[in-house]
Amino acid sequence: MTAPRPDFPMHVSVEQAREMLAALLPAPATETVGLADALGRTLAAPLGALVSHPSATESALDGIACREADTWAATAAAPVRLRVVGESRAGLPFTGTVGEGECTRIYTGAPMPPGTEAICPVEELADDGDDVLLRRPASPGDVRPEGGDFRAGDDVMAAGLLLTAPRVALAAALGHRELAVRRRHRVALLSTGDEVVEPGEPLSAGQVYDSNRYGLAAMLRECGCDVLMLGHAPDSPDALHAAIESAGGADLLVTSGGVSMGRYDFMRDLLIEHGRVAFWKVRMRPGGPALLGGWQGLPVIGLPGNPVSSLVVFHVIVRPALTGQSLQSLTLRAATPFRALPDKTAFWRGVIDGGTVRDYGRQGSGILRSLSDADALVIVPEGRAVAAGDDVQVVLL
Ligand code: AMP
Ligand code: MG
């Protein structure tokens, strides 16, 4: 008897897997958060500038503000003399005007007094009573023009942008106190396997501590998700069924284990029976057996149990789909060869040293230390081996 042909795609590419998962996720609703809670969130709407920055043309240095033409002749041998008629401080501008042969003291961030357009830094000045002596011409280059960073009304940040620390600072500088962000995805997380044991419990031969659930929960939190910990289910269809049912209300269920070819790998058949399978197997290593499907409207991504496999699939497929941010890679020089696989993209663990990356060595998908010790995943496309000295694409871990 030949097995029936599956009616779902098998051996999809990493890109297809990512797109198919992203297409199953619900479009997140919008909510409002204060600036102090905005880190790691994603902007739901473009952000415009409510003010200009700088709000006035201002000095970039401590020194004096003056008319450039008054200082052209200044040299160390023949300094130019200017009369100090006041000062402009940050937040306390000079209100008068500065005439020919005059200047004001000025400090970083203080508005340029009317009539002045150049700065001479304090290091280049000598005081002489109510006057200063300049040993070189003042420069208009040390002035920050009004609106030089952004102008009121400018569109500055696009919807979909991940709010990193500098972007939170920029949002504040634009004048916003609260930001419209995408609601966090609610992700349920379940690990499976008769041999999987809670860390800290006694461990018998053949058992393994549940590293996946804690590693995946941490990665989900790094992605800004709310994590619903469903705990652990043994390898039994009934127990798995009940555990999956308890994920109701989540936007996504992530499972670990039970998606391979073994007799006790039940996830795929459960999805076929009670939901649907969107794909099974991705052309990648580690992580090949990954499974995507749905269970009564709940998207389910089944990650392989091998610790390196589950975390690598999360890194290159689940994270970009959840965050809407494309996978960022950079080019480094290979210090060692990296072998290619004929029909799979390989994600070998690499150690970065200067501008080069070398093979971590132990690349087994059970060697969790390879992920902890390595700096990057080295991407080796299907059938295209990397020789030492070649440029190679890497994804930072
Ligand atoms: P599976 O994908 O269920 O066939 O599991 C493959 C390998 O991953 C086996 O060696 C399991 O013991 C190991 N494994 C499965 N689940 C976990 C887990 N939650 N934490 C650590 N290792 C696991
Ligand atoms: Mg298992």
Mean of pLDDT values over 33-61: 97
pLDDT at 379: 98
Which letter, b or e, does each residue of 317-327 get, where b requires 16 or more Cβ atoms within 10 Å of its Cβ?
Answer: bbbbbbbeeeb
pLDDT, position 328: 95
Reported as a single tens digit per residue, the pLDDT across 95-137 is: 999 999 999 999 999 999 999 999 999 999 999 999 999 999 9
Is the CB–ligand 1 distance for residue 147 below 6 Å?
Answer: no
Ligand at shortest distance from the CA of 306: 1
The whole-number pLDDT of residue 6 equals 81
Q: Which atom of ligand 1 is nearest to the CA of 306?
A: 8
CA nearest ligand 1 atom 23, residue:
305
Mean pLDDT of 27-31: 93
Of ligand 1's atoms, which has the minimum distance to the CA of residue 258? 3
- Residue 342 predicted with pLDDT over 60: yes
Provide the residues around ligand 2 (an ion) whose CB is within 5 A.
193, 257-258, 305
Question: What single-letter DSSP state applies at residue 262?
Answer: S
Residue 196 CB–ligand 1 contact under 6 Å: yes
212 lines ligand 1 (CB under 6 A): yes
Residues 308-317 have a mean pLDDT of: 98
pLDDT at 5: 72
The contacts of residue 142 (CB under 8 Å, 6+ apart) are: 59, 60, 61, 63, 118, 119, 121
Architecture of domain 58-144: Beta Complex (2.170)
Residues in the chain: 397
- Is the entire prediction scored with pTM above 0.85? yes
As a whole number, mean pLDDT of residues 186-195 equals 98
Q: Is the CB of 304 under 6 A from ligand 1?
A: yes
Query: Is residue 388 scored above 70 in pLDDT?
Result: yes
Q: How would DSSP label each residue in 113-180? A: PTT--EEEEGGGEEEETTEEEESS--BGGGEE-TTSSB-TT-EEE-TT-B--HHHHHHHHHHT-SEEE
Residue 2: per-residue pLDDT: 60
pLDDT at 331 over 70: yes
For the Cβ of 364 lying below 6 angstroms from any atom of ligand 1, the answer is no
Residue 384 and residue 371: Cα distance in Å, rounded? 23
Does the 33-53+148-182 domain belong in CATH 3.40.50.1360? Answer: no
* Ligand 1 pocket, residue 305 CB under 6 Å: yes
Expressed in angstroms and rounded, the spacing between residue 206 Cα and the centre of ligand 2 is: 12
> What residue segments make up the domains of the chain, in order of their start?
10-28+183-323, 33-53+148-182, 58-144, 330-396
CA 326 – ligand 1 centroid, Å: 28
> Which of these, 211, 255, 194, 201, lies nearest to 230 by C-alpha position?
255
| Residue minimizing CA distance to atom 5 of ligand 1 | 305
Q: What percent of the chain has pLDDT over 90?
A: 97
CATH match for 330-396 among 3.40.228.10, 2.40.340.10, 3.40.50.2000, 3.30.750.80: 2.40.340.10
Q: Is the pLDDT of residue 1 over 60?
A: no
**Residues 278, 256: Cα–Cα separation, whole Å:** 17
Q: What is the mean pLDDT of residues 53-65?
A: 97
CA distance 363 to 348: 7
285 vs 6, higher pLDDT: 285
Task: Return the pLDDT at 237.
Answer: 97
- Residue 3, pLDDT above cutoff 70: no
pLDDT tens digits along 256-281: 999 999 999 999 999 999 999 999 99
Angle ∠(233,367,205) on CA atoms, nearest 5: 55
% helix, strand, coil for the chain, step of 5: 20, 35, 45
Q: Fold identical between 58-144 and 330-396? A: no
Confidence band for 248, pLDDT divided at 50, 70 and 90: confident
pLDDT of 4: 66
By alpha-carbon position, which residue is closest to atom 3 of ligand 1? 257
Helix (H, G, I), strand (E, B) or coil at 185: coil
Q: Which CATH number fits domain 10-28+183-323: 3.40.980.10, 3.30.70.1050, 3.40.50.2000, 3.40.50.11780?
A: 3.40.980.10
* pLDDT number for residue 72: 95
| Pocket of ligand 1 contains residue 323 by CB under 6 Å | no
- pLDDT for the residue 28: 86
